[in-house]
Amino acid sequence: MPRLFIEQLRTPGQGVEGVFQVAEKDLRTTKKGALFISAKLRDRTGELPAVMWDATQALFAAIPQGGYALVKGRLGEFGGALQIVIEAMRPAKESEVRLEDFLAVGPGDPEEQLAQLRSILDSVERPALRALVAALWADEALLRDLARAPAAEKLHHAYLGGLLEHTLSVIETAVVIARRYPKLDRDILLVGALWHDLGKTRELAYARALGYTDAGRLVGHIAQGVLMLEEKIEAVHAAGTDFPEELANVLRHMILAHHGVHEFGSPKLPMTAEALALHHVDNLDAKLHAFWRDVSADADPQRRWTSFNKMFGGALYKGFEEPDDENQGDREGAV
């Protein structure tokens, strides 16, 4: 049976056979006392809930959460939603796992995007900030991580290269915003935009599958970003360039405040114009990317609205289609 990806699983009764990442797993008990496994299976195209009846403790323990399993079963339906009904499952052998089936890659060229990023940041004028950016450019390992990391596990730009794509988009928009609002400190806004999500290179795991590192779960990318800023400021000092403490505090604040509200994990609310601008630019890029992704991934391409979208709190309007000339003529001629 040819491998079907999750995005191709649409019809109840379809056969399912292949290697999937076990994103979540839970061993539960039915009302009659039988064990069953509730799981979420994932590949590069999406994620589906799954259930395996008549499971055992030994099988549950053998299946690695976050790892890969060879699954055989069929597509079922429960509560109006699709799910995979697993008939047989075992841990996948390393030779059976094709990483390209699980790690989606962004559409851009990382080398070109890094070059664009460098070109914009070359316009930074303040000596301390130029030295800070130079310290980042000198860190080849960090640049490799920036070029490869996703921007999120699920929410937006959740593919290899997504962090660089998102960072470049935020900085390019920040350039436009700074031109429209000249009271903004352009240098601080651009460097803050560069740094705001840099901690995701340590927060997210992306070698074998998208997920979170231990440091990501314990510390998070916001705090990691501040720690990385401290490391590079120390490098600037060591190279003989002064870095004013007030300037350092302003940059720390931009990282700490870029989520905008406490409910979204922001330790501080934006208290500078540059932090406020960065928050809205960052949020705009993330939300538009998620909007267009969810619209294009909707199960029914013919309908005008998507199904309910949890992120946006409702269905999304896909837009209208211009009538073709023939139909337009019919309407114009009708009385």
Query: SS in 3 state form for 198-263?
Result: CCHHHHEECCCCCEECHHHHHCCHHHHHHHHHHHHHHHHHHCCCCCCHHHHHHHHHHHHHCCCCHH
Residue 329 pLDDT: 47
Average of per-residue pLDDT across 134-149: 93
Q: Output DSSP code: residue 100.
A: G
Amino acid at 297: A
pLDDT at 323: 55
Task: Indicate the pLDDT class of residue 320, thresholds 50, 70 and 90.
Answer: low
Cα 167 to Cα 173: distance, rounded to the nearest angstrom: 10
Model confidence at 277: pLDDT above 50? yes
Q: Is the pLDDT of residue 234 over 90?
A: yes
Exposure of 12 in the CB half-sphere (CA atoms within 13 A): 8
Cα within 13 Å of Cα(75), Cβ side: 19
Q: Give me 25's structure tokens.
A: 């797993």
Is-same-fold flag (6-101; 110-292)?
A: no
pLDDT at residue 334 above 50? no
Whether the predicted pLDDT of 330 surpasses 60: no
Domain boundaries, the chain: 6-101, 110-292
pLDDT one-digit tens code per residue, 169-202: 999 999 999 999 999 999 999 999 999 999 999 9
For the chain, what is the mean pLDDT? 88
Q: Are 96 and 147 in contact (CB under 8 A)?
A: no
Q: Does the pLDDT at position 58 exceed 60?
A: yes
DSSP 103: -
Q: Which residues pair with 305 in a beta bridge?
A: 317
Under 8 Å between Cβ of 168 and 119 = no
Confidence of residue 294 (pLDDT cuts 50, 70, 90): confident
Which segment of 62-66, 98-102, 207-211, 217-221 scores lowest on mean pLDDT? 207-211
Q: Give the residue among 41, 53, 46 at the shortest CA–CA distance from 84.
A: 41
- From residue 180, alpha-carbon distances to 4, 124, 175 in Å are 48, 17, 9
pLDDT at 96 over 50: yes
Q: Give the span between the Cα atoms of 76 and 124, in whole angstroms.
A: 56
d(CA 211, CA 28): 24
pLDDT of residue 266: 86
The CATH number fitting domain 6-101, selected from 1.10.10.410, 3.50.50.60, 2.40.50.140, 3.30.1440.10: 2.40.50.140
Domain 110-292 in this protein, CATH class: mainly alpha
**Is pLDDT at 71 greater than 80 in this prediction?**
yes
Of the two residues 131 and 327, the one the predictor is more confident about is 131
The pTM assigned to this predicted structure is 0.71
Residue 20 pairs in a beta bridge with: 69
| pLDDT at residue 67, rounded to an integer | 87
